Structure 1
Amino acid sequence: MDLNLPAPRGILFDKDGTLFGFDATWSAFGAAVVDDLGGSAPETRAAVAGALGFDLGAGRFHPDSPVVAGTADEVAHRLAPHCPGQTPAEVAAWLDARAADIAPVPAAPLGPLLDRLAGLGAVLGVVTNDATEAACVQLRAAGVIGRFAFIAGYDAGHGAKPAPGPLRAFAEASDLRPSEVAMVGDSLHDLHAARAAGMRAVAVLTGPVGADVLAPHADLVLPDVSHLPDALFGAARSD
């Protein structure tokens, strides 16, 4: 990132793998879905895990899993063959309901961080490929929902990442130019959406995807979101 750029006036966060650590938050969900749909038959469990992109041995999602960056609709279409009698829409609704019950694990202490960023003049928002209501439930559980001026999931009517629609909706709602916004995320969907929207692309390494994959598509790569104040606003304003 060009360090001479002015500080962003808006910061838009992905949720899972960014605000919340991905493996700590979602691995138990993956195992539960395999248990629910796969039962005890090894071949069925392996097939469900394969559809999810979930490594049964390691107990974690593969970096290219649709759960990492996709929507519930995308995951549902892959799981539908293992849900006899249910349509993909019904499977997606079931997944959204299960996701709302997840206990999120923050990737860093979020309250002080978000307050600090707001104190530096940034409008804050969340764009996730999870459902909007599930996102609100999790942000509320983490005690930070009130810090965000904008929260949109894939079902909010703006489209889903990597399309730029939800990012542009945040900029419009916040009366900001896209160039004044930094999009922070842990996946290529996040970074590609940022590029398409004309925003700065900031990658964090608290999701399943490594720096070697993310760095070519990012203006900046950080270990986690706690580094944002110094990285985007400068050490001189970090106290």
Structure 2
Amino acid sequence: MNTAGIQGILFDKDGTLIDYASTWTPLNREAALFAAAGDPELARRLLAVGGADPDTGVVRADTLFAAGATPEIAAAWIAAGSPYDLDLLVPEMDRIFQGATSTAIVPTVADPAGLFRRLRDRGLKLGVASSDGEVAIRNTLAMFGLDDLVDFVAGYDSGHGHKPNPGMVYGFCDATGLPPGAVAMVGDNRHDMAMGRAAGVGLCVGVLTGTGTIETLAGLADLSLPDIGGLEALLERGGRPLQA
């Protein structure tokens, strides 16, 4: 593996820049209870439909909670019994999910602000592509001092399509002038890796701070790192690090 040609990195947000379980477990529960109109048994069923254990809140890899956009989760919940329609449910869910910008519940991974500054000093272009809404993404970036360090931001509602389709990568390339082969895609689940593969990026890097595992990322990720803190060593060595 040769990383010498990498000139830009496109990051997923949840599970990549911020710890997934600590941030999203309470928000998933709140959204499910709202979608269930306060019915606790229906809320448990909706959590299961989203891919979460109703008791522990743990989210399985590559489920709706792990990789889906709000409209996809909402549609599945309506099919499973939520009494609301999409026009009401989607914006209310996005409002709840914007709670991920509360400093009380958001732990970051590996000092992303410091990492982004050092990557920028190397001359790399940086972007964030998430299945979250763009407003929530920008709020998170601003909260952690990352908003001035990125060249591109895309959410499910930014006009680039949804993961795992390649549109967000192409948007990053359009914004930075880089070809896909000069881009590394970094994320915690197969949707991120599949998006990178579909776009023809030069490198797909999985991280293990979200819902994905080495086993679930296998076959799409070129390698897996414990967290984004390993990116600098990867770029310096240009080779494959030890698997976590």
- Structure 2 length normalisation: TM-score? 0.89
Match of residue 14, structure 2, among 13, 16, 28: 16
Please say if 1:230 is aligned against 2:230: no
Alpha-carbon distance between aligned partners in 1 of 2:113 and 2:72, rounded to the nearest angstrom? 32
Size of the aligned set, in residue pairs, is 232
Alpha-carbon distance between aligned partners in 1 of 2:92 and 2:35, rounded to the nearest angstrom? 12
C-alpha displacement of 1:148: 0.6
Q: Give the alignment of 1:22-37 within 5 angstroms.
A: 22-37=20-35
- Structure 1 length normalisation: TM-score? 0.90
Please say if 1:192 is aligned against 2:194: yes
More moved, 74-83 vs 106-115: 74-83
Q: For residues 198-229 of structure 1, give each alpha carbon's deviation from its aligned partner in whole angstroms, at most 9, with x where no partner exists.
A: 10211101111211110221112111001101
Query: Which residue of structure 2 lines up, in the alignment, with residue 96 of structure 1?
Result: 94
User: What code does the residue aligned with 1:229 have?
Assistant: E
More moved, 26-35 vs 200-209: 26-35
Q: Is the 8 A contact 1:7 1:232 kept in 2?
A: no
Q: Give the alignment of 1:1-239 within 5 angstroms.
A: 2=1, 4-38=2-36, 43-81=41-79, 82-84=81-83, 86-102=84-100, 103=102, 104-199=106-201, 200-234=203-237
Alpha-carbon distance between aligned partners in 2 of 1:6 and 1:161, rounded to the nearest angstrom? 27
Alpha-carbon distance between aligned partners in 1 of 2:13 and 2:116, rounded to the nearest angstrom? 13
Q: For residues 76-133 of structure 1, give each alpha carbon's deviation from its aligned partner in whole angstroms, at most 9, with x where no partner exists.
A: 101225432x312321111111111223321221111111111111100011111111
Alpha-carbon distance between aligned partners in 2 of 1:50 and 1:56, rounded to the nearest angstrom? 6
Q: Is the 8 A contact 1:113 1:226 kept in 2?
A: yes
Alpha-carbon distance between aligned partners in 2 of 1:122 and 1:162, rounded to the nearest angstrom? 24
Report sequence identity in percent.
Answer: 34
Q: Extract unaligned runs of 5+ from structure 2.
A: 239-244
User: What code does the residue aligned with 1:30 have?
Assistant: N
Alpha-carbon distance between aligned partners in 2 of 1:158 and 1:220, rounded to the nearest angstrom? 26
RMSD: 1.8
More moved, 204-213 vs 87-96: 87-96
Q: Is the 8 A contact 1:30 1:60 kept in 2?
A: no
C-alpha displacement of 1:232: 2.0
User: What code does the residue aligned with 2:51 have?
Assistant: G
Q: CA separation of 1:42/1:91 partners in 2, compared to 1, >3 Å: closer, same or farther?
A: closer
| Secondary structure, counterpart of 2:10 in structure 1 | strand
Q: Extract unaligned runs of 5+ from structure 1.
A: none
C-alpha displacement of 1:7: 4.3
Alpha-carbon distance between aligned partners in 2 of 1:11 and 1:64, rounded to the nearest angstrom? 22
